[in-house]
Chains A and B, each alone.
Chain A
Amino acid sequence: MKKYWFVTKNSMSEYLTYRLNFVLWRVRVVVSVLITFFLWQTIFSGKEVIFNYSESQMMTYIILLSFISAVVLSTQTFRVAEEINRGTLSNFLIRPISYFRFNIARDLSDKMINIAFSLVEVPLIILLFRPAFFWQTDPLNWLLFAAALFLSSLLYFEISMLLSFIGFWSREVWAPRFIFFILIAFLAGTYFPLDIVPPAVYSILRVLPFTYLVFFPLRIYLGGLDSQALVVGFGVTIVWLFILFFVMRRVWQNGLKYYTSEGQ
Chain B
Amino acid sequence: MKTIYVSHLKKYYRIFKRREGLLSAFKSLVSRPQHTVKAVDDISFSIGEGELVGFIGPNGAGKTTTLKCLSGLLYPSAGVVEVLGFKPFKRNNNYLKQISLVMGQKNQLWWDLPAMESLRLNKEIYDLTERQFRENLEELSQLLEVGDMAKVPVRQLSLGQRMKMELIAALIHHPKVLFLDEPTIGLDIVMQKKMRDFIAGYNRNHKATIILTSHYMADVKELAKRVIIIDRGRLLYDGNLTDLIKKYADHKVITAHFEKEVKSEDFRKLGKLKSVNGKSVSFTVSRNRAKAVAVDLLKNYRIRDFEIEEPELEDVISIIFQSHPVSHQV
Contact = CB atoms under 8 A, between A and B. Distances in A.
Contacts of A256: 75
Nearest to A1: B124
A201 B112 CA distance: 47
B96 interface: yes
B126 A259 contact: no
Given A93-B72, A95-B96, A257-B75, A10 B126 contact: no
A87 interface: yes
B72 A94 contact: yes
A13 interface: yes
B112 A94 contact: no
Contacts, number: 74
Contact of A96 (B68, B107, B112, B126): B126
A258 B77 CA distance: 10
B121 A17 contact: no
B113 A13 contact: yes
Contact of A91 (B105, B108, B112, B117): B108
A90 B106 contact: yes
Interface string B100-117: 110101111011110001
Interface residues of A, number: 26
Contacts of A94: 71-73, 96, 99-101
A258 to B, nearest CB: 8
A87 B68 CA distance: 11
Contact of A3 (B13, B96, B105, B124): B124
A21 to B, nearest CB: 11
Nearest to B179: A94
Contacts of B125: 3, 95-97
Contact of A14 (B73, B94, B97, B113): B113
B118 interface: yes
A261 interface: yes
Contacts of B153: 17
Contact of A95 (B68, B117, B120, B122): B122
Contacts of B73: 90, 93-94, 259, 261, 264
A14 B112 contact: yes
A31 to B, nearest CB: 27
Nearest to A90: B73
Interface string A1-16: 0110011001001100
Interface in A208-264: 256-261, 263-264
Given A97-B125, A256-B75, A10 B117 contact: yes
Interface string B118-136: 1011101110000000000
Nearest to B181: A264
Residue among B64, B73, B106, B111 with the highest chain A CB neighbour number at 10 A: B73
A88 interface: yes
B68 to A, nearest CB: 6
Interface string A184-225: 000000000000000000000000000000000000000000
A103 to B, nearest CB: 15
A17 B74 contact: no
Interface in B118-173: 118, 120-122, 124-126, 153
A6 B99 CA distance: 22
A162 B96 CA distance: 25
Contacts of A17: 112-113, 153
A18 B112 CA distance: 9
Contacts of A257: 75
B125 to A, nearest CB: 5
Interface string A86-111: 01101101111100000000000000
B288 interface: no
A10 B72 contact: no
B91 interface: yes
B68 A261 contact: yes
Contacts of B322: none
B113 A87 contact: no
6 contacts: A13-B117, A14-B112, A91-B108, A258-B75, A259-B74, A264-B103
Interface of B: 13, 64, 68, 71-75, 91, 93-94, 96-97, 99-101, 103, 105-108, 110-113, 117-118, 120-122, 124-126, 153
Given A3-B121, A90-B106, 16 more contacts: A3-B125, A10-B113, A10-B117, A10-B118, A14-B113, A18-B112, A90-B68, A94-B99, A95-B125, A95-B126, A96-B93, A96-B94, A96-B97, A96-B125, A260-B13, A263-B106
The 7 nearest A-B residue pairs measured at CB = A3-B124, A96-B93, A91-B108, A96-B96, A257-B75, A17-B112, A6-B121
